[in-house]
Structure 1
Amino acid sequence: MDETDVPENLNPLKRFGSDVKRVRLGRKLTQKHLGKAVGYTDSYVSLVEAGKQMPSPRFAKGCDLAFGTNGLFAGLLKRLDEADHPSWFVSYLEKEKKAASICDYSVHGIMGLLQTEAYAHAIFRAGHPHARADVIKGKVDARISRRAVMSQQTPPTLWVVLHEACLRTHVGGPTVMAGQLQHLIASAETPGIDIQVITFAAGAAAAHLLPFTLLMFDSEPTTLYSDGPLGGKLYDREATVAAAVRNYDRLRAHALPPDDSLAMVKGLHKEYTS
Protein backbone atom coordinates (compact mmCIF):
# COMPACT_ATOMS: atom_id res chain seq x y z
CA MET A 1 0.00 0.00 0.00
CA ASP A 2 1.25 3.48 -0.83
CA GLU A 3 1.76 5.56 2.34
CA THR A 4 -0.75 8.12 1.08
CA ASP A 5 -3.53 5.53 0.64
CA VAL A 6 -6.29 5.70 3.27
CA PRO A 7 -7.93 2.46 4.47
CA GLU A 8 -11.71 2.53 4.44
CA ASN A 9 -12.16 1.15 7.97
CA LEU A 10 -10.38 3.91 9.90
CA ASN A 11 -12.24 5.44 12.82
CA PRO A 12 -12.99 9.19 12.46
CA LEU A 13 -10.03 10.30 14.55
CA LYS A 14 -7.56 8.16 12.60
CA ARG A 15 -9.10 9.28 9.33
CA PHE A 16 -8.54 12.93 10.31
CA GLY A 17 -4.89 12.13 11.08
CA SER A 18 -4.51 10.19 7.86
CA ASP A 19 -5.87 13.14 5.89
CA VAL A 20 -3.39 15.48 7.59
CA LYS A 21 -0.54 13.15 6.70
CA ARG A 22 -1.66 12.76 3.10
CA VAL A 23 -1.85 16.52 2.51
CA ARG A 24 1.40 17.12 4.40
CA LEU A 25 3.24 14.63 2.19
CA GLY A 26 1.61 16.15 -0.87
CA ARG A 27 3.02 19.52 0.16
CA LYS A 28 6.43 17.85 0.76
CA LEU A 29 6.51 18.95 4.41
CA THR A 30 8.06 17.02 7.30
CA GLN A 31 6.25 16.67 10.62
CA LYS A 32 8.76 19.13 12.06
CA HIS A 33 7.97 21.68 9.33
CA LEU A 34 4.23 21.34 9.90
CA GLY A 35 4.63 21.53 13.67
CA LYS A 36 6.61 24.75 13.37
CA ALA A 37 4.01 26.22 11.01
CA VAL A 38 1.06 25.47 13.30
CA GLY A 39 2.79 26.10 16.62
CA TYR A 40 3.03 22.51 17.87
CA THR A 41 5.84 20.01 18.31
CA ASP A 42 6.56 17.36 15.69
CA SER A 43 5.62 14.72 18.29
CA TYR A 44 2.14 16.31 18.56
CA VAL A 45 1.81 16.16 14.77
CA SER A 46 2.90 12.51 14.85
CA LEU A 47 0.25 11.63 17.47
CA VAL A 48 -2.49 13.42 15.49
CA GLU A 49 -1.50 11.63 12.29
CA ALA A 50 -1.57 8.30 14.12
CA GLY A 51 -5.06 9.00 15.48
CA LYS A 52 -3.80 9.00 19.07
CA GLN A 53 -4.25 12.69 19.82
CA MET A 54 -7.45 14.71 19.53
CA PRO A 55 -6.46 17.72 17.39
CA SER A 56 -7.23 21.10 18.84
CA PRO A 57 -9.21 23.73 16.90
CA ARG A 58 -6.00 25.79 16.74
CA PHE A 59 -4.15 22.86 15.18
CA ALA A 60 -6.89 22.33 12.57
CA LYS A 61 -6.93 26.03 11.65
CA GLY A 62 -3.12 26.02 11.52
CA CYS A 63 -3.19 23.12 9.06
CA ASP A 64 -5.60 25.03 6.83
CA LEU A 65 -3.24 28.01 6.82
CA ALA A 66 -0.14 25.88 6.26
CA PHE A 67 -1.76 23.79 3.51
CA GLY A 68 -3.93 26.52 1.97
CA THR A 69 -7.00 24.28 2.35
CA ASN A 70 -9.48 27.08 3.05
CA GLY A 71 -11.11 25.75 6.23
CA LEU A 72 -11.13 22.06 5.24
CA PHE A 73 -9.54 20.70 8.42
CA ALA A 74 -11.42 23.09 10.71
CA GLY A 75 -14.61 21.78 9.12
CA LEU A 76 -13.53 18.16 9.46
CA LEU A 77 -12.81 18.67 13.16
CA LYS A 78 -16.18 20.32 13.70
CA ARG A 79 -17.94 17.37 12.08
CA LEU A 80 -15.89 15.00 14.23
CA ASP A 81 -17.27 16.62 17.36
CA GLU A 82 -20.82 16.54 16.00
CA ALA A 83 -20.60 12.85 15.07
CA ASP A 84 -22.38 10.00 16.86
CA HIS A 85 -19.24 9.58 18.98
CA PRO A 86 -17.27 12.79 19.68
CA SER A 87 -13.67 12.69 18.54
CA TRP A 88 -12.26 12.60 22.07
CA PHE A 89 -14.22 9.39 22.79
CA VAL A 90 -13.16 7.38 19.75
CA SER A 91 -9.83 6.28 21.24
CA TYR A 92 -11.61 5.06 24.36
CA LEU A 93 -14.02 2.95 22.31
CA GLU A 94 -11.14 1.29 20.47
CA LYS A 95 -9.64 0.24 23.82
CA GLU A 96 -12.98 -0.76 25.34
CA LYS A 97 -13.40 -3.41 22.63
CA LYS A 98 -10.08 -5.01 23.60
CA ALA A 99 -10.36 -4.83 27.39
CA ALA A 100 -10.34 -7.96 29.52
CA SER A 101 -11.93 -6.13 32.44
CA ILE A 102 -13.81 -2.84 32.78
CA CYS A 103 -14.18 -1.10 36.13
CA ASP A 104 -16.37 2.00 36.15
CA TYR A 105 -17.39 4.58 38.74
CA SER A 106 -20.49 6.57 37.76
CA VAL A 107 -21.47 9.64 39.74
CA HIS A 108 -24.53 11.33 38.22
CA GLY A 109 -25.57 9.13 35.31
CA ILE A 110 -25.40 5.40 34.65
CA MET A 111 -22.46 4.35 32.47
CA GLY A 112 -23.13 4.08 28.73
CA LEU A 113 -22.69 0.29 28.52
CA LEU A 114 -25.62 -0.21 30.91
CA GLN A 115 -27.99 2.46 29.58
CA THR A 116 -31.34 1.67 28.00
CA GLU A 117 -32.31 3.34 24.75
CA ALA A 118 -34.89 5.57 26.46
CA TYR A 119 -32.43 6.62 29.19
CA ALA A 120 -29.71 7.38 26.62
CA HIS A 121 -32.20 9.42 24.57
CA ALA A 122 -33.11 11.52 27.61
CA ILE A 123 -29.43 12.10 28.42
CA PHE A 124 -28.53 13.18 24.89
CA ARG A 125 -31.62 15.35 24.48
CA ALA A 126 -30.78 17.18 27.71
CA GLY A 127 -27.18 17.64 26.59
CA HIS A 128 -28.10 18.76 23.06
CA PRO A 129 -31.44 20.57 23.44
CA HIS A 130 -31.30 22.15 19.97
CA ALA A 131 -30.07 19.13 18.00
CA ARG A 132 -32.20 17.58 15.25
CA ALA A 133 -34.04 14.36 16.04
CA ASP A 134 -31.88 12.36 13.62
CA VAL A 135 -28.70 13.60 15.31
CA ILE A 136 -29.99 12.48 18.71
CA LYS A 137 -31.04 9.13 17.26
CA GLY A 138 -27.57 8.62 15.79
CA LYS A 139 -25.98 9.25 19.17
CA VAL A 140 -28.42 6.90 20.93
CA ASP A 141 -27.89 4.14 18.35
CA ALA A 142 -24.12 4.52 18.68
CA ARG A 143 -24.32 4.23 22.46
CA ILE A 144 -26.58 1.19 22.40
CA SER A 145 -24.32 -0.49 19.83
CA ARG A 146 -21.54 -0.48 22.45
CA ARG A 147 -23.35 -3.36 24.17
CA ALA A 148 -21.89 -5.61 21.48
CA VAL A 149 -18.65 -5.68 23.46
CA MET A 150 -20.47 -7.70 26.13
CA SER A 151 -21.65 -10.23 23.51
CA GLN A 152 -18.19 -11.10 22.22
CA GLN A 153 -17.02 -14.70 22.40
CA THR A 154 -14.89 -13.69 25.38
CA PRO A 155 -16.54 -10.58 26.83
CA PRO A 156 -14.80 -8.43 29.41
CA THR A 157 -15.79 -8.67 33.03
CA LEU A 158 -17.66 -5.54 34.09
CA TRP A 159 -17.62 -4.10 37.59
CA VAL A 160 -19.64 -0.94 38.11
CA VAL A 161 -19.83 1.22 41.22
CA LEU A 162 -22.85 3.52 41.00
CA HIS A 163 -23.32 6.49 43.26
CA GLU A 164 -26.82 6.53 44.73
CA ALA A 165 -27.43 9.79 42.85
CA CYS A 166 -27.42 7.80 39.59
CA LEU A 167 -30.44 5.85 40.79
CA ARG A 168 -32.41 8.72 42.28
CA THR A 169 -31.95 11.36 39.58
CA HIS A 170 -35.12 11.30 37.46
CA VAL A 171 -33.74 11.00 33.94
CA GLY A 172 -36.59 11.02 31.44
CA GLY A 173 -39.26 10.54 34.12
CA PRO A 174 -40.53 7.58 36.21
CA THR A 175 -41.25 5.28 33.26
CA VAL A 176 -37.79 5.72 31.78
CA MET A 177 -36.19 5.24 35.20
CA ALA A 178 -38.24 2.11 35.89
CA GLY A 179 -37.04 0.61 32.60
CA GLN A 180 -33.46 1.62 33.33
CA LEU A 181 -33.48 0.07 36.80
CA GLN A 182 -35.04 -3.11 35.44
CA HIS A 183 -32.17 -3.28 32.96
CA LEU A 184 -29.67 -2.84 35.81
CA ILE A 185 -31.34 -5.69 37.72
CA ALA A 186 -31.07 -7.97 34.70
CA SER A 187 -27.45 -6.91 34.14
CA ALA A 188 -26.51 -7.56 37.78
CA GLU A 189 -27.87 -11.10 37.46
CA THR A 190 -25.70 -11.73 34.37
CA PRO A 191 -22.45 -13.70 34.88
CA GLY A 192 -19.40 -11.47 34.62
CA ILE A 193 -21.20 -8.27 35.65
CA ASP A 194 -21.03 -6.93 39.22
CA ILE A 195 -22.84 -3.82 40.38
CA GLN A 196 -22.32 -2.02 43.67
CA VAL A 197 -24.07 1.07 44.97
CA ILE A 198 -22.20 3.61 47.04
CA THR A 199 -24.81 5.39 49.11
CA PHE A 200 -25.10 9.04 50.13
CA ALA A 201 -24.08 7.87 53.61
CA ALA A 202 -20.57 7.15 52.28
CA GLY A 203 -20.05 10.90 52.28
CA ALA A 204 -16.59 12.17 51.35
CA ALA A 205 -15.43 8.68 50.35
CA ALA A 206 -17.24 9.22 47.05
CA ALA A 207 -17.88 12.97 46.94
CA HIS A 208 -14.29 13.93 46.12
CA LEU A 209 -14.09 11.87 42.92
CA LEU A 210 -15.17 12.53 39.35
CA PRO A 211 -16.49 9.62 37.27
CA PHE A 212 -13.78 7.42 35.76
CA THR A 213 -13.23 4.07 34.09
CA LEU A 214 -10.35 1.62 34.30
CA LEU A 215 -9.68 -0.60 31.28
CA MET A 216 -7.57 -3.66 32.09
CA PHE A 217 -5.93 -5.86 29.48
CA ASP A 218 -4.27 -9.27 29.31
CA SER A 219 -1.10 -8.06 27.61
CA GLU A 220 -0.83 -4.31 28.12
CA PRO A 221 -0.93 -1.85 31.01
CA THR A 222 -4.19 -0.63 32.54
CA THR A 223 -5.60 2.56 31.03
CA LEU A 224 -7.57 5.22 32.89
CA TYR A 225 -10.36 7.19 31.24
CA SER A 226 -11.79 10.23 32.99
CA ASP A 227 -14.37 12.82 32.02
CA GLY A 228 -13.71 16.55 32.16
CA PRO A 229 -15.55 19.77 31.28
CA LEU A 230 -14.22 19.71 27.70
CA GLY A 231 -14.54 15.96 27.15
CA GLY A 232 -12.83 12.77 28.27
CA LYS A 233 -9.18 11.83 28.27
CA LEU A 234 -7.14 8.62 28.40
CA TYR A 235 -4.23 8.30 30.83
CA ASP A 236 -1.57 5.57 30.84
CA ARG A 237 1.06 7.13 33.13
CA GLU A 238 1.82 4.47 35.74
CA ALA A 239 1.49 6.71 38.80
CA THR A 240 -1.79 8.26 37.60
CA VAL A 241 -3.34 4.87 36.86
CA ALA A 242 -2.14 3.41 40.16
CA ALA A 243 -3.80 6.25 42.09
CA ALA A 244 -7.07 5.59 40.25
CA VAL A 245 -6.86 1.86 41.04
CA ARG A 246 -6.42 2.69 44.74
CA ASN A 247 -9.40 5.04 44.62
CA TYR A 248 -11.50 2.35 42.96
CA ASP A 249 -10.57 -0.18 45.65
CA ARG A 250 -11.66 2.31 48.32
CA LEU A 251 -14.95 2.95 46.52
CA ARG A 252 -15.70 -0.77 46.44
CA ALA A 253 -14.85 -1.03 50.13
CA HIS A 254 -17.27 1.80 51.02
CA ALA A 255 -20.04 0.59 48.69
CA LEU A 256 -22.78 -1.88 49.57
CA PRO A 257 -21.94 -5.51 48.72
CA PRO A 258 -23.32 -6.67 45.35
CA ASP A 259 -26.29 -8.57 46.87
CA ASP A 260 -27.29 -5.61 49.05
CA SER A 261 -26.81 -3.27 46.08
CA LEU A 262 -29.13 -5.40 43.95
CA ALA A 263 -31.73 -5.35 46.72
CA MET A 264 -31.51 -1.54 46.83
CA VAL A 265 -31.95 -1.26 43.06
CA LYS A 266 -34.99 -3.56 43.25
CA GLY A 267 -36.46 -1.43 46.04
CA LEU A 268 -36.02 1.77 44.02
CA HIS A 269 -37.53 0.05 40.99
CA LYS A 270 -40.69 -0.61 43.02
CA GLU A 271 -40.79 3.08 44.00
CA TYR A 272 -40.68 4.12 40.33
CA THR A 273 -43.42 1.63 39.36
CA SER A 274 -45.79 2.17 42.29
Structure 2
Amino acid sequence: MDETTPPQHLNPLQRFGRDVKQVRLARKLTQKQLGTAAGYSEAYVSRVEAGKLLPRPSGKFAMGCDAAFGTGELFTDLLRRIDEGDHPSWFVPYLNLERKASRILTYDTNLVSGIVQTGDYARAVFRVSNPRASADGIEDKVAARLRRREVFEGDAPPFLWVILHEACLRTVVGAAEVMAGQLEYLRTLSAAPHVELQVMPFSAGVPATSTMPFIVLRFPDSPTVLYTETRVGGRMRDSVQTVEAALDDYDLLRAHALAPDRSMALITNLLKEYQA
Protein backbone atom coordinates (compact mmCIF):
# COMPACT_ATOMS: atom_id res chain seq x y z
CA MET A 1 0.00 0.00 0.00
CA ASP A 2 1.43 3.37 -1.06
CA GLU A 3 1.75 5.64 1.98
CA THR A 4 0.72 8.58 -0.23
CA THR A 5 -2.57 6.99 -1.31
CA PRO A 6 -5.47 9.26 -0.23
CA PRO A 7 -7.70 7.58 2.43
CA GLN A 8 -10.76 7.82 0.18
CA HIS A 9 -8.98 5.69 -2.44
CA LEU A 10 -8.16 2.83 -0.08
CA ASN A 11 -10.20 -0.35 -0.25
CA PRO A 12 -11.67 -1.77 3.00
CA LEU A 13 -8.75 -4.15 3.62
CA GLN A 14 -6.23 -1.35 3.08
CA ARG A 15 -8.12 0.88 5.52
CA PHE A 16 -8.14 -1.94 8.08
CA GLY A 17 -4.39 -2.41 7.61
CA ARG A 18 -3.76 1.31 7.92
CA ASP A 19 -5.71 1.43 11.19
CA VAL A 20 -3.79 -1.56 12.59
CA LYS A 21 -0.51 0.13 11.75
CA GLN A 22 -1.51 3.48 13.24
CA VAL A 23 -2.57 1.95 16.55
CA ARG A 24 0.47 -0.37 16.61
CA LEU A 25 2.82 2.59 16.20
CA ALA A 26 0.91 4.57 18.81
CA ARG A 27 1.39 1.65 21.23
CA LYS A 28 5.10 1.54 20.26
CA LEU A 29 4.92 -2.09 19.16
CA THR A 30 6.89 -3.68 16.33
CA GLN A 31 5.21 -5.92 13.79
CA LYS A 32 6.96 -8.86 15.40
CA GLN A 33 5.65 -7.93 18.85
CA LEU A 34 2.10 -7.56 17.58
CA GLY A 35 2.37 -10.85 15.73
CA THR A 36 3.58 -12.63 18.84
CA ALA A 37 0.77 -11.14 20.94
CA ALA A 38 -1.89 -12.06 18.37
CA GLY A 39 -0.45 -15.49 17.58
CA TYR A 40 0.76 -14.70 14.05
CA SER A 41 4.05 -14.13 12.26
CA GLU A 42 5.70 -10.79 11.56
CA ALA A 43 5.14 -11.44 7.85
CA TYR A 44 1.41 -11.91 8.47
CA VAL A 45 1.19 -8.55 10.24
CA SER A 46 3.12 -6.91 7.41
CA ARG A 47 0.68 -8.24 4.82
CA VAL A 48 -2.29 -7.12 6.90
CA GLU A 49 -0.92 -3.60 7.22
CA ALA A 50 -0.24 -3.50 3.47
CA GLY A 51 -3.83 -4.54 2.76
CA LYS A 52 -2.56 -7.54 0.82
CA LEU A 53 -3.82 -10.44 2.93
CA LEU A 54 -6.60 -12.15 0.97
CA PRO A 55 -9.38 -12.91 1.35
CA ARG A 56 -8.94 -10.88 4.56
CA PRO A 57 -7.33 -11.02 8.02
CA SER A 58 -8.78 -13.67 10.29
CA GLY A 59 -11.21 -12.96 13.09
CA LYS A 60 -8.64 -14.39 15.48
CA PHE A 61 -6.12 -11.79 14.35
CA ALA A 62 -8.61 -8.97 14.87
CA MET A 63 -9.33 -10.23 18.39
CA GLY A 64 -5.59 -10.49 19.00
CA CYS A 65 -5.16 -6.86 17.96
CA ASP A 66 -7.91 -5.77 20.34
CA ALA A 67 -6.27 -7.69 23.17
CA ALA A 68 -2.77 -6.34 22.40
CA PHE A 69 -3.97 -2.75 21.91
CA GLY A 70 -6.59 -2.70 24.65
CA THR A 71 -9.20 -1.54 22.14
CA GLY A 72 -12.16 -3.60 23.34
CA GLU A 73 -13.77 -5.02 20.20
CA LEU A 74 -12.79 -2.20 17.84
CA PHE A 75 -10.87 -4.26 15.27
CA THR A 76 -13.24 -7.21 15.58
CA ASP A 77 -16.11 -4.87 14.71
CA LEU A 78 -14.15 -3.28 11.86
CA LEU A 79 -13.56 -6.70 10.34
CA ARG A 80 -17.21 -7.64 10.70
CA ARG A 81 -18.27 -4.43 8.94
CA ILE A 82 -15.92 -5.26 6.07
CA ASP A 83 -17.76 -8.57 5.67
CA GLU A 84 -21.16 -6.89 5.83
CA GLY A 85 -20.14 -4.16 3.40
CA ASP A 86 -19.29 -6.68 0.69
CA HIS A 87 -22.71 -8.34 0.88
CA PRO A 88 -26.15 -6.95 0.00
CA SER A 89 -27.73 -5.39 3.08
CA TRP A 90 -30.63 -7.84 2.96
CA PHE A 91 -28.18 -10.77 3.15
CA VAL A 92 -26.39 -9.62 6.30
CA PRO A 93 -29.00 -10.95 8.80
CA TYR A 94 -28.71 -14.39 7.21
CA LEU A 95 -24.91 -14.20 7.22
CA ASN A 96 -24.88 -13.46 10.94
CA LEU A 97 -27.04 -16.53 11.60
CA GLU A 98 -24.97 -18.76 9.30
CA ARG A 99 -21.90 -18.06 11.47
CA LYS A 100 -23.73 -19.36 14.54
CA ALA A 101 -25.44 -22.42 13.04
CA SER A 102 -24.56 -25.93 14.16
CA ARG A 103 -26.11 -27.52 11.04
CA ILE A 104 -26.49 -26.04 7.56
CA LEU A 105 -28.77 -27.82 5.10
CA THR A 106 -28.74 -26.48 1.53
CA TYR A 107 -30.67 -27.40 -1.60
CA ASP A 108 -29.78 -25.75 -4.93
CA THR A 109 -31.34 -26.15 -8.33
CA ASN A 110 -29.28 -24.08 -10.81
CA LEU A 111 -26.05 -22.87 -9.25
CA VAL A 112 -23.68 -24.43 -6.74
CA SER A 113 -24.42 -23.16 -3.23
CA GLY A 114 -22.51 -19.97 -2.43
CA ILE A 115 -20.81 -21.32 0.67
CA VAL A 116 -19.06 -24.04 -1.37
CA GLN A 117 -18.24 -22.06 -4.51
CA THR A 118 -14.65 -21.68 -5.66
CA GLY A 119 -13.24 -18.24 -6.31
CA ASP A 120 -13.30 -18.71 -10.10
CA TYR A 121 -16.88 -19.97 -10.04
CA ALA A 122 -18.06 -17.10 -7.81
CA ARG A 123 -16.21 -14.59 -9.99
CA ALA A 124 -18.02 -15.85 -13.10
CA VAL A 125 -21.38 -15.65 -11.32
CA PHE A 126 -20.76 -12.11 -10.07
CA ARG A 127 -19.61 -10.90 -13.48
CA VAL A 128 -22.93 -11.95 -14.96
CA SER A 129 -25.11 -10.73 -12.09
CA ASN A 130 -23.22 -7.41 -11.68
CA PRO A 131 -22.37 -6.34 -15.24
CA ARG A 132 -21.64 -2.71 -14.26
CA ALA A 133 -19.38 -3.53 -11.31
CA SER A 134 -15.69 -2.68 -11.49
CA ALA A 135 -13.03 -5.38 -11.45
CA ASP A 136 -12.14 -4.41 -7.87
CA GLY A 137 -15.80 -4.52 -6.90
CA ILE A 138 -16.12 -8.04 -8.27
CA GLU A 139 -13.00 -9.14 -6.40
CA ASP A 140 -14.40 -7.73 -3.16
CA LYS A 141 -17.55 -9.79 -3.64
CA VAL A 142 -15.55 -12.92 -4.41
CA ALA A 143 -13.41 -12.46 -1.31
CA ALA A 144 -16.52 -11.95 0.83
CA ARG A 145 -18.05 -15.15 -0.53
CA LEU A 146 -14.91 -17.16 0.17
CA ARG A 147 -14.79 -15.79 3.72
CA ARG A 148 -18.02 -17.63 4.47
CA ARG A 149 -15.94 -20.82 4.57
CA GLU A 150 -14.28 -19.62 7.76
CA VAL A 151 -17.15 -21.10 9.77
CA PHE A 152 -15.65 -24.52 8.99
CA GLU A 153 -12.17 -23.65 10.26
CA GLY A 154 -12.89 -23.73 13.98
CA ASP A 155 -12.58 -26.62 16.41
CA ALA A 156 -16.30 -27.41 16.15
CA PRO A 157 -17.40 -26.60 12.58
CA PRO A 158 -21.08 -26.80 11.70
CA PHE A 159 -22.31 -29.92 9.94
CA LEU A 160 -22.99 -29.13 6.29
CA TRP A 161 -25.39 -31.13 4.14
CA VAL A 162 -25.45 -30.10 0.48
CA ILE A 163 -27.97 -31.33 -2.09
CA LEU A 164 -27.29 -30.13 -5.63
CA HIS A 165 -29.57 -30.78 -8.54
CA GLU A 166 -27.64 -32.23 -11.46
CA ALA A 167 -28.40 -29.01 -13.35
CA CYS A 168 -25.99 -27.21 -11.01
CA LEU A 169 -23.18 -29.45 -12.22
CA ARG A 170 -24.01 -29.35 -15.92
CA THR A 171 -24.71 -25.63 -16.25
CA VAL A 172 -21.40 -24.24 -17.49
CA VAL A 173 -20.48 -21.24 -15.37
CA GLY A 174 -17.52 -19.31 -16.76
CA ALA A 175 -15.84 -22.07 -18.76
CA ALA A 176 -15.03 -25.76 -18.68
CA GLU A 177 -11.89 -25.00 -16.64
CA VAL A 178 -13.96 -23.16 -14.04
CA MET A 179 -16.39 -26.06 -13.79
CA ALA A 180 -13.55 -28.56 -13.47
CA GLY A 181 -12.12 -26.58 -10.58
CA GLN A 182 -15.52 -26.36 -8.92
CA LEU A 183 -16.22 -30.07 -9.20
CA GLU A 184 -12.75 -30.92 -7.94
CA TYR A 185 -13.39 -28.74 -4.91
CA LEU A 186 -16.72 -30.48 -4.26
CA ARG A 187 -14.92 -33.84 -4.34
CA THR A 188 -12.36 -32.61 -1.83
CA LEU A 189 -15.04 -31.03 0.36
CA SER A 190 -17.14 -34.18 0.47
CA ALA A 191 -14.27 -36.05 2.14
CA ALA A 192 -14.47 -33.80 5.22
CA PRO A 193 -16.12 -35.47 8.25
CA HIS A 194 -18.51 -32.54 8.75
CA VAL A 195 -19.82 -32.55 5.16
CA GLU A 196 -22.37 -34.70 3.34
CA LEU A 197 -23.04 -34.10 -0.34
CA GLN A 198 -25.72 -35.57 -2.60
CA VAL A 199 -26.79 -34.98 -6.19
CA MET A 200 -30.40 -34.94 -7.33
CA PRO A 201 -30.10 -36.53 -10.80
CA PHE A 202 -32.18 -35.66 -13.83
CA SER A 203 -33.24 -39.31 -13.84
CA ALA A 204 -35.18 -38.70 -10.62
CA GLY A 205 -37.72 -36.75 -12.65
CA VAL A 206 -39.68 -33.95 -11.05
CA PRO A 207 -38.12 -33.24 -7.63
CA ALA A 208 -39.94 -34.89 -4.76
CA THR A 209 -40.74 -31.49 -3.30
CA SER A 210 -39.80 -27.85 -3.72
CA THR A 211 -38.26 -26.83 -7.06
CA MET A 212 -36.89 -23.69 -5.41
CA PRO A 213 -33.53 -23.56 -3.61
CA PHE A 214 -33.59 -23.10 0.15
CA ILE A 215 -31.38 -23.31 3.24
CA VAL A 216 -32.20 -24.54 6.73
CA LEU A 217 -30.07 -23.37 9.65
CA ARG A 218 -30.20 -25.27 12.93
CA PHE A 219 -28.83 -24.04 16.25
CA PRO A 220 -28.06 -25.64 19.62
CA ASP A 221 -30.19 -23.24 21.65
CA SER A 222 -32.27 -21.24 19.14
CA PRO A 223 -35.19 -21.92 16.80
CA THR A 224 -34.42 -23.44 13.40
CA VAL A 225 -34.55 -20.94 10.51
CA LEU A 226 -35.62 -21.39 6.89
CA TYR A 227 -33.97 -19.06 4.35
CA THR A 228 -35.16 -18.50 0.79
CA GLU A 229 -33.89 -15.99 -1.72
CA THR A 230 -34.79 -14.20 -4.93
CA ARG A 231 -32.77 -11.73 -6.98
CA VAL A 232 -34.25 -8.80 -5.06
CA GLY A 233 -33.81 -10.12 -1.54
CA GLY A 234 -33.88 -12.92 0.99
CA ARG A 235 -36.44 -13.97 3.55
CA MET A 236 -36.05 -15.87 6.83
CA ARG A 237 -38.83 -17.74 8.60
CA ASP A 238 -38.78 -19.45 11.98
CA SER A 239 -42.42 -20.40 12.54
CA VAL A 240 -42.66 -24.01 13.69
CA GLN A 241 -45.11 -24.99 10.96
CA THR A 242 -43.05 -23.50 8.14
CA VAL A 243 -39.75 -24.92 9.39
CA GLU A 244 -41.17 -28.40 9.95
CA ALA A 245 -42.55 -28.40 6.39
CA ALA A 246 -39.12 -27.42 5.07
CA LEU A 247 -37.44 -30.19 7.06
CA ASP A 248 -39.97 -32.70 5.69
CA ASP A 249 -39.13 -31.43 2.20
CA TYR A 250 -35.43 -31.87 2.88
CA ASP A 251 -35.96 -35.43 4.06
CA LEU A 252 -37.76 -36.21 0.79
CA LEU A 253 -34.97 -34.62 -1.22
CA ARG A 254 -32.37 -36.72 0.60
CA ALA A 255 -34.40 -39.86 -0.04
CA HIS A 256 -34.72 -39.21 -3.79
CA ALA A 257 -31.18 -37.95 -4.38
CA LEU A 258 -28.27 -40.23 -5.21
CA ALA A 259 -26.46 -41.75 -2.26
CA PRO A 260 -23.23 -39.90 -1.35
CA ASP A 261 -20.94 -42.46 -3.03
CA ARG A 262 -23.02 -42.49 -6.22
CA SER A 263 -23.13 -38.70 -6.13
CA MET A 264 -19.33 -38.64 -6.04
CA ALA A 265 -19.20 -41.07 -8.95
CA LEU A 266 -21.39 -38.75 -11.03
CA ILE A 267 -19.30 -35.71 -10.08
CA THR A 268 -16.11 -37.60 -10.99
CA ASN A 269 -17.50 -38.54 -14.41
CA LEU A 270 -18.57 -34.95 -15.09
CA LEU A 271 -15.17 -33.72 -13.95
CA LYS A 272 -13.51 -35.92 -16.59
CA GLU A 273 -15.82 -34.44 -19.23
CA TYR A 274 -14.85 -30.90 -18.28
CA GLN A 275 -11.16 -31.83 -18.27
CA ALA A 276 -11.32 -33.49 -21.70
TM-score normalised by length of structure 1: 0.70
Aligned partner (choices 114, 121, 125) of residue 119 of structure 1: 121
Distance 1:208 1:221 in 2: 22
Residue deviations 1:224-270 (CA, integer Å, cap 9, x gap) = 11112421111111111111111100000000000100111011000
The 5 A counterparts of 1:147-166 are 147-166=149-168
Q: Is the 8 A contact 2:228 2:235 kept in 1?
A: yes
The 5 A counterparts of 1:87-236 are 87-205=89-207, 208-236=210-238
Pick closer, same or farther for the CA change 1:154–1:208 going to 2, 3 Å.
closer
List alignment gaps of at least 5 residues for structure 1.
Answer: 1-6, 13-79
Q: Shift of residue 209 of structure 1? A: 2.1
Q: Which amino acid aligns with 2:155?
A: Q
Report the equivalent of 1:36. Answer: none
Residue deviations 1:187-239 (CA, integer Å, cap 9, x gap) = 01111101000011222225742110000111111111111242111111111
SS of residue in 2 equivalent to 1:262: helix
Q: Shift of residue 163 of structure 1? A: 0.3
Distance 2:232 2:206 in 1: 25
Distance 1:269 1:217 in 2: 35
CA RMSD of aligned residues (A): 1.8
Distance 1:231 1:135 in 2: 20
Q: Is the 8 A contact 1:198 1:206 kept in 2?
A: no
Residue deviations 1:102-123 (CA, integer Å, cap 9, x gap) = 1000111111111100000000
Q: Is the 8 A contact 2:217 2:226 kept in 1?
A: yes
Q: Which amino acid aligns with 2:114?
A: G
Percent identical across equivalent pairs?
Answer: 48
List alignment gaps of at least 5 residues for structure 2.
Answer: 1-72
TM-score normalised by length of structure 2: 0.69
Pick closer, same or farther for the CA change 1:160–1:101 going to 2, 3 Å.
same
Residue deviations 1:107-163 (CA, integer Å, cap 9, x gap) = 111111111000000000010011111111110000001110011111001000000
Moved over 3 A (4+): none
Distance 1:228 1:137 in 2: 22
SS of residue in 2 equivalent to 1:245: helix
Q: Which amino acid aligns with 1:259?
A: D
Residue deviations 1:59-88 (CA, integer Å, cap 9, x gap) = xxxxxxxxxxxxxxxxxxxxx8xx410011
Instruction: Indicate the larger mover: 201-210 or 133-142.
Output: 201-210
SS of residue in 2 equivalent to 1:204: coil
SS of residue in 2 equivalent to 1:98: coil
SS of residue in 2 equivalent to 1:232: strand
Distance 1:130 1:202 in 2: 39
